Structure formats: structure tokens, C-alpha cells
Structure 1
Amino acid sequence: MYAIVDIETTGSHAADNGITEIAIVLHDGEKIEGRFSTLVNPLVAIPPYVVSLTGITNNMVATAPLFKDIAPNVHRLLQGRIFVAHNVNFDYSFIRHHLQAVGLHWQARKLCTLRLARAAFPGLPKYGLGHICRSLDIPVTDRHRATGDADATTILLEKIMVKGGEKLIKEFLKKEAKEQILPPNLPQDHVKSLPNTPGVYYFHDSKGTVIYVGKAKMLRKRVVSHFTGLDTGKKRQSFLRDIYSITFKETPTELTASILESVEIKRLWPVHNVSQKNAEKLFGIYLFEDGRGYLRLAIDKKRKLLEPLVSFNILSDAHRYLWKLVKDFQLDAACCFLDKSVKEISLTETPAEYNAKVQKAVLQMQEEKGTYAIIETCDTGNDVSCILVEKGRFFGMGLLPEKANPFEIEHIRGHMTPYPENEVLKNMLRSYSEKYPSRVLQLGA
């Protein structure tokens, strides 16, 4: 019924590391049915710190079988059994990855004794295997060796079964039970307390430092999605191990969640947020007059001493925007450097005629820098979500009472919480305004 497993490895993520030792204890729920253990040649050097931790040296594994040689037997022993380990996703990801590497498909239901122990023995100071063995007087021989740790995990599972474990195990095995997919250091109640409303969530490390900020339309659903799947890459495995707690802030809409996320990433600079950190490499649309007197629009990298008519953090957004201007105002694509196939630009219009159309396009860009509010119905409650932009700059956001007069800008300011602007926000608000013009309310400055 159960396969209780422990492995030793050359590193912390399966994609780039090998297994140096594996132990499997077969258990029928009442007694041990069989055992298997062996050293494994990982085909890579074992790092010195791993040697000092496990005592497994390169010489010890030099003559050991390769994983491909034992894979059929491992696959046979695990087949049809519930996979049990302490911090189960680590061992499971390694074995599944290395079985797949030799062409053996395997998938199993999982039980994590670390999480089971939290439920069966609440209030212990720590739940790492060494700590919980000391707390529960579980004898451990050869700590950090596969056989010793697998035997200790077996005794722990038996103690859990005595403490109402049958009911716990059934609960953990239900499809809707999410605990076994959570990061090993994250208490389940941190996820259970999340509402399914829009908002921003924060992942904290063991010291309480924010290491990741994200936004969600439904907080609990989005957070859980981080932990599904079996990505064995170094980045993901490190990310999951670093998560010790979650906090959150609810927002009235998904858009306000996106804005708050961007503000918080710029404020906190979390180590695992990447995309918005590089978002300040900007592009702009510039206006200049060529030697023949024609006004021309062009996309270029943003320059310190020149202010663009409008700026973008993604080049493709700048191209999309300029193509829209070309279409709306019947501008020449080659003259705007969009049609690269035309080597010599030949306009049938005079400079005055063509420049008049360009000026209309420029006027529209300037009008977009005006003062306006984005008004949305809140996902919960009767208040109205409002985002205020003044003279082209993001001012802040907040809730307006249902009966408030949205046309009075001074009244709106009093309900807004100011936030710093950044280029990500500029582009976000511009894109949203283009997509939902009915939600944009023009205001007098």
C-alpha cells in the first residue's frame, strides 16, 4: 500500500543533479513488507558540502549501479503504491524526473509525513525529520543516509497512524486536499485564510522578508497555482523552499490589484520578481521634421534630454500604438519607419497637407495626457473603484461612495490614496483605457 522513500542527491533540484543513494520501505499499513536500498553512481562529482553532510564520497559511488540500471526495479516497487516521504515533493520530483529520463512513465498519489506530522502532533517547535525524531523519541541511525532516514520516516508514519492517522491520510489523499502540494515550510492555514477576491499577495522567507509579490483576480486560487506541477528546475525549487508565510491585501478590482502589485514590486524589490525590474528599458514615439519639411513620427529608445510624445516599456507596444495612429489618421507607414520595404519615400501630399494629419495624431497623444478617472464597479460591496490620472500622471486610487459625484475632481482627490508612478503603470493604464473607453471619465483639471 505504501512506499516510504528517502534519497540522497548531489544537489537540491532534479533537472541538474543526480541521485547518490535510494532506500524504499514497503509497508501495508500495519507492518513492513520489504526493503530496497542501494548507492547510486550519479555520474557527476558530489560537492564537498554534500559529502560532509551525508558521508557519501565519490569513491563510494564509483562502482555503484547507475540509476538507469536500477530504474526498472524502482519502478516496479513503486507501482500502485502511495508514495510517502518527509518533504515529499523533493523526493518525488527527483525519482519521477530520473525515471522519465530512462523512458519509464510513473505517477503516484503522495503523502508528506512533514505535513501529516503538523496535523497529528501540533505545537512542536520544528518539523524537520531530525527535529521531530528527537521530539517523538524516534531512533535514527545514519542520519542523512537514505536507509536511516527511510526507516525513521517509517516509524514516524506508524506513530501518525496511531494518532488518528487513518482519517488524516484519507483527508490528505482527497483531490481537494491541497496541503500536500504546498511548499514544505508553509503552514496550510496561510492558504486557507486567503479569500477568493482580487488583491495582492506577498511570499515571505524565514526572516519575514518579502521575496515575491503577485496580483490575483482570485487570491486563493492564484496562490495555489504557484505550487501545482512538478517543475524540477533549480529556480522553482529554490523559490518553493524559501516560502515560509503569506500575507495579502484585498483590492476592489483586478486592475487595482495590478497597480498595487507594480507599486509594491518597485518599493520592495523582491528577489524572486523579475519581469518588472527590467521594465524601465523604455521606448518612446518622437516627432521631428525632415529636410523636405515633412513632420515624421518615429520610435526610438528613450533619451535623457528629449521627452517623447508617449513612452512604452515594451517595443511591441510602441509599434502597435504607432500602427494605430497610422491607420486612424491615414499616415504613411514608411514615413513613420514602420514599412521597412520602402527604400525611397514618395508622398503625394504637400508638406502642409501631410503635416496637418500628423498634428492631429500628436494632438490625440497630448489629449491622452489629460486628467481623467477610470471608474469600475467593485467586485464586492456597493462602492465604486476609482483610479485618478492628472495631466497624464497617475495620482492614486481609492473607493468612491456609491452616491458620490464623480465629476468633482476635488471630491475625488479626497478619496484617493496617492501612489508613485512608474512606466509599467503608465502603459497599463493606457492599454486599459484603450480597451475599455466606456470606463474612462474625462475630468477638468
Structure 2
Amino acid sequence: MSSTAINTLEYAIVDIETTGGYAAGSGITEVAILIHDGQNVVERFETLINPQCAIPLSIQALTGINNELVANAPAFSDVARRIFDLLSGRVFVAHHVNFDYSFIKHHLQTAGYTYVAPKLCTVRMSRKIRPGLASYSLGRLCDVLEIPITHRHRAGGDAEATAILFTKLLEWDTGGAIREMLKKTSGHQQLPPNLPKEQVDQLPHSTGVYYFRDKTGKVIYVGKALDIHSRVTSHFTGHNPNPQRQQFLRHIHSVTHEPCGTELIALLLEATEIKRLWPAYNRALKRFEPKFAIYVYEDQQGYLRIAVGKYGKGHPPVQVFYRQMDAVNSLHALINEFELDRQYCSFGGTANHHAVRPHVVPPEQHNERLRSALHGLQRTNANFAVIDQGRNSNEKSCIWVENGNLYGMGYFPVGPDSFLDTETVKASLTRYTGTHYMMQLINSYAEKHPLKIWKTDHLTAFSFL
């Protein structure tokens, strides 16, 4: 797109005031639209809107718009046609554009209008054309760039200031940044306002883990991907108006990544990083911890007893479960298969209706039968390594399991005549504390890929001849 083409475009500079932070659950209280021909504002539209819901006191204090002020104002549906006509065929421009765009698009759709438009964000434009400023909020930009701004936090005042800023950015853009942003394939329209496009462009198309960070550098989301670049950009497609997504995008200021040799290592690293960092916007993996377990303990008469109970880290479990019913069913299966005496079994919250009977066998005989039952249930003394591809052709990845638990994972160098002793490989790994979820991933992978499993009980060296 040439500079001449940019000058012939028309832009709709938009600012709105709302009752809340997300479109699907909030109303609009004020709209201002300034039509810009690439040099000057040529038309203005501004109106209060009755949101048809109560305006929170915090919003009233910020904007000065209260319930009485909008009582006789039109509903959005009453002015939807006018707004749609003003916006149609023009580039949608706003400060933090995805916020305003999501509200306008949602409320137009509710009123029966399908609206799609190219967008420009004056935050992203300012970061690109005037890099290095301490802040890119509208108020701070106006202070630094000596732009007059009146009626702050009102749609008309903020739109006027945004229009002046937009005019200056058009003049200052000698490198064609705006032209690049308007290209359909540029990605600028979808990216969060505070995330530099250069960081996204530098992400690799390979397997790994990525981290979204806030303005302080704190990790707010961890994800894994087979293609890091594609997965990261997929977060920003569409205009889902739910509050979690709106808050999430607003807080992303940077993205970093860690390459991984395999999807399994990426999954394990994602899980351990979520457990370590507890990011605000990771929810799914936080639920992947067991809630119930089967325990074995010895009573005062020397009899081993088996019981279902809530999972806790104070006593080692025989097996853990997400649901109590699964634990109960597993215990019933053991009882039936090995003919265990039910008086030595407890089902947690479910009552055991079998009357306590005198001991009919000595504890040694009973305990031996119970241990036989547990032998197939437990996955103890499992010692193996998953050896797979590395991050490049000069290394292999390794996931090391000892006594049924994750010991560590990492990478070690290989060559055409590599012959490495197990202690050297083990020492090169990063130690990790595994979870039930992580061991499920590893054991499932081991069952599906037996050729990649090295039993380490009697192994002294890895040979890659």
C-alpha cells in the first residue's frame, strides 16, 4: 500500500465509555466518532447512550457519567444505524483498539448489524513510530507530545486527543509503519496493544514452551506448542468479548520461549512451570492434581488394612485418583480379584456395611494376600529413561524416571560414535519434581513408544553407534 493510498483512506477515530471491562456483560454509556480524511477531522458524532443497566459507582467517579445523565439518552439500538453508516468503509482507529472494537462490534451485532473493518491502534502506532517513551497511555502520551486534552475519560475529549495524536503519527511515519500495519497479513491488527510485533516475529516454528509476561516481567501464562509462533498468534485471533480474554490481552507486554526437543518434554515443562510459577491465566492444568487415594496401613494387631481417603502429601499413597468413585471402584476390583476380606477394607465416605468378624487367618497370611493384590496396582521400582530427539541433530533428549517418579529431564550431546555412561547422562539432566499428571503422560508415552524406552536398572552406558 503506497503513501498515496494511505492518504486517500478515511478513518473513523472512536472512543467509548462503558459500564465495565468486557463487551458481552457491559453496556456503552457514550460514543464519539471522528471521521478523519488522512489530514484533518471532517465530521464529528458524539452522543450519550443509555446502557439500560446501572452504572457502577467506580465508573461514575471516573467518567462523571451517572444514571441520571443517561436516563433520557438513546439506547444503542436507536443509534446503531447511524454508527454503522459512519464506520462502514473506513479504518477503525482507537487507543487500545481491540477494546473499543470489541464493544462496537458486539453491540452492533446485537442490534442486527454485521460489522468487520480494518483496525489501527494508536498505542501500537506510537510504540512503532515513537519508540522508547516511558508510557503509552493516552494521558502520558499527550503530556509528552504536548497534545491538549480536555474532558479526560469522556468519549468526546479522548477522541479529540486521539485524533490529534493520529494526525501527528501520520506526519511522523516516514518509514511506512502504518502502511505495514494496514496489510491484512501484518498481524498488527490482532496483537495486544503492548506486545511488540518484533518479539512475535522472532518466535520459531518449532516445539517448545512459551511465556506471556506483564509489564513487570512476571509470567502470567505458560503454554506449550508444536509450533510456538503459530500457537502464540492463535491467542489473538477473533474478538471473543468474555472478560477473562479481554483482561488477558490487556496485560500481555512481552513473550519469551524455551525450545524443547519433543512434545512430551514440552508438556512436562509446561506442567512443572505452571506448578512453579502459578500464572494468573493458567486454569486447566491447575485442576490436574489428584483428590483421592488408596492407602495401606498396619493396625495394632499387625493386619494390613487398605482404605480410600482424601489425597494428602503426609502419607504415601498406593494409587491416586481424581474422583472418589474411581478409587472405590478400584478397591472393589481388588477385593473381587484377590478375594480380600472386606473387614480390612475401608471405602472412605461410603459406609462399610459388613460386620466386623473375628480374625480367621493370621496376619502373615492375610498380609501376603494383600501384598499380592497391590503388586499389580503399584508402579514402584520403575526405572527407565525415555531417549528421544533433541532440539537439534547434535543432541538427544532424556526423561529419567526412578522408582516410578520423575527424576529429571534434559539433553546430552551425541555424535556418530557416541558411547555415554548412564551417570554422565543422568548428571546432565535438570532435576524436576514430578506430579501424578506428569507421570501419567510419561507412562502413556512409554507404552506407545517402547523402542524409545531404555531400562536403567542394569544399564551402564548408552550407545549410539
TM-score of the alignment, normalized to the shorter chain, above 0.5: yes
* Deviations 1:55-89, CA, capped at 9 Å, x for gaps: 21211111000001111111111112111111100
- Structure 1 position 301, deviation (Å): 6.1
Structure 1 residue 152 displacement after superposition: 1.5
Structure 1: stretches of 5+ with no match in the other structure: 288-296, 332-357
Amino acid at match of 2:441: M
- From 99, 105, 111, the equivalent of 2:120 is 111
Aligned residue among 423, 434, 439 for 2:447: 434
Aligned length: 414
Quick one: which of 378, 386, 392 aligns to 1:374? 386
Aligned match of 1:385:
397
Partner of 2:108: 99
Residue of 207, 217, 221 corresponding to 2:226: 217
- In the other structure, the counterpart of 2:433 is 420
Matched, 1:86 2:95: yes
Alignment of 1:231-310 (within 5 A): 231-283=240-292, 302=311, 309-310=318-319
1:303 to partner: Cα distance: 7.1
Whether the 8 Å contact between 2:221 and 2:282 is mirrored in structure 1 is yes
Distance 1:429 1:197, change over 3 A: same
Evaluate the alpha carbon distance shift between residue 52 and residue 305 of structure 1 in structure 2; reply closer, same or farther with a 3 A threshold: closer
Report the CA distance shift for 1:398/1:304 in structure 2 as closer, same or farther (over 3 A).
closer
**8 Å contact kept, 1:285–1:318:** no
How do 1:330-341 and structure 2 match up within 5 A? none
Cα distance, 1:165 vs structure 2: 6.3
Which amino acid is 1:416 matched to? L
Paired residues of 1:284 and 1:318 also in contact (CA < 8 A)? no
Once the two structures are superposed, what CA deviation does each residue of 1:320-344 show, in whole Å capped at 9, x if it has no partner? x98xx99xxx99xxxxxxxxxxxxx
Q: 2:411 aligns with which of 399, 403, 414?
A: 399
Cα distance 1:107–1:412, how it changes in 2: closer, same or farther (>3 A)? same
2:176 is paired with a residue of what secondary structure?
helix
1:438 Cα offset (Å): 2.5
Within 5 A, what are the aligned runs for 1:159-174? Answer: 159-164=168-173, 167-174=176-183
3-state SS of paired residue (1:83): strand
Unaligned runs of 5+ in 2: 1-9, 297-305, 339-369, 459-465
2:192 counterpart SS class: coil
Alignment counterpart, residue 145 of structure 1, candidates 135, 151, 154: 154
Question: Amino acid of the residue matched to residue 130 of structure 1?
Answer: G
Q: What is the Cα deviation at residue 159 of structure 1?
A: 1.1
The superposition leaves residues 372-407 of structure 1 with CA deviations (integer Å, 9 ceiling, x where unpaired) of 11111125232111100012111001113224446x
Percent identical pairs in the alignment equals: 46
- Classify the secondary structure of the residue corresponding to 1:280: coil
- Higher mean alpha-carbon deviation, 91-100 vs 173-182, is at 173-182
Residue 98 of structure 1: how far off its partner (Å) = 0.8
Which amino acid counterpart does residue 280 of structure 2 have in structure 1?
Answer: V
Question: Displacement of 1:443 after TM fit?
Answer: 2.1
Residue 435 of structure 1, CA deviation: 2.6
**Deviation digits for residues 188-238 of structure 1, max 9, x if unmatched?**
333233223322222222333222222222222222222222111111111
The answer (yes or no) to whether the contact 2:205–2:228 under 8 Å persists in 1 is yes
Contact 2:120 2:182 in 1 (8 A): yes
Verify the 8 A CA contact 1:8 1:146 in the aligned structure 2: yes
Q: Secondary structure at the match of 2:184?
A: coil
**CA shift at 1:111, angstroms?**
0.7
Q: Secondary structure at the match of 2:178?
A: helix
TM-score with structure 1 setting the length: 0.82
In the alignment, is residue 33 of structure 1 matched against residue 42 of structure 2?
Answer: yes
In the aligned structure 2, how far is the partner of 1:137 from the partner of 1:18? Answer: 32
The code of the aligned residue for 2:214 comes to: D
Q: How far does residue 306 in structure 1 lie from its aligned partner after superposition?
A: 7.6
